[in-house]
Amino acid sequence: MRTVTFSDLSIARRVHESCVPVWVNVDPGFHDCQGAAEARIWSSEPEIFPTRNIVTFFATPDFRVLHYVAGYWHPTFFSKELEFVDRLRGDVLRGDGTTRVDAVWKVRRAHLEREKELRPLVQYFESERGWSAALGPDPVHEGHAHGPSCHSNLLQGLHHLADVHRSMIGQTRVFSTLPRLSQLFQTYRFGNPFAEGDFGRLPGRDVLAAMTVR
């Protein structure tokens, strides 16, 4: 995400215009030294790789989560998530950054509608033989051919996204509030178990304190 998606000028501009971006290591002190793994991921260039290794949260100023996606998302797909969050933020936040009274209902409705929109897209990529042509040429790796692994990872990512929407619907319905970032930081959904670092450790106290709802 850091070297491809967040380095994309269009994505970077939109993120900085509408968000306060913060990077936190899930495993405090972790340093990526697995060069071979990084090279393999880079060369294969999947459109989506929904690993637990990284997660992008979209939260309100008081650290309530509006949406999130796990893993790597190509700029083309990630831009769709930014569009969704932009609309959602406009619906639930006032000008001063506080949430509106009906914020929970609007978040639940938005995730419900988006989950329904995903269903035909998932069905298309599951059954349509021309799925690779629909993706178009890869803008990062010239000449990259979309193979079976791209197809598998793409579907895994779309199923993960639908799972996130269903999870957000359920949480807002059961608890009648937006989930806390400190809670989802340890319980977020992901599409595959690939990970680097020690996920058995909890984030440092300073990280959890920073995510405490004010």
Contact 99, 178 (CB under 8 A): yes
Convert 70-89 to b/e letters by CB count within 10 Å (16 or more is b).
bbbbbbbbbbebbebbeebb
pLDDT tens, 166-184? 999 999 988 888 999 888 8
Give the three-class secondary structure for 126.
Answer: helix
pLDDT of residue 68: 94
Give the three-class secondary structure for 145.
Answer: coil
pLDDT of residue 185: 82
pLDDT of residue 95: 85
pTM of the model: 0.81
Instruction: Please name the residues in contact with 166: beta carbons below 8 A apart, sequence gap of 6 or more.
Output: 111, 115
Q: What are 152's two structure tokens? A: 């598998």
Closest CA to 164 of 52, 83, 63: 52
Closest CA to 62 of 151, 180, 168: 180
pLDDT of residue 32: 57
Report how far residue 178's alpha carbon sits from residue 63's, in angstroms, rounded to the nearest whole number. Answer: 9
pLDDT < 50 regions, the chain: 139, 204, 213-214
Contact 48, 41 (CB under 8 A): no
Distances, alpha carbon 26 to alpha carbons 22, 56, 203, in Å:
12, 12, 6
pLDDT of residue 65: 92
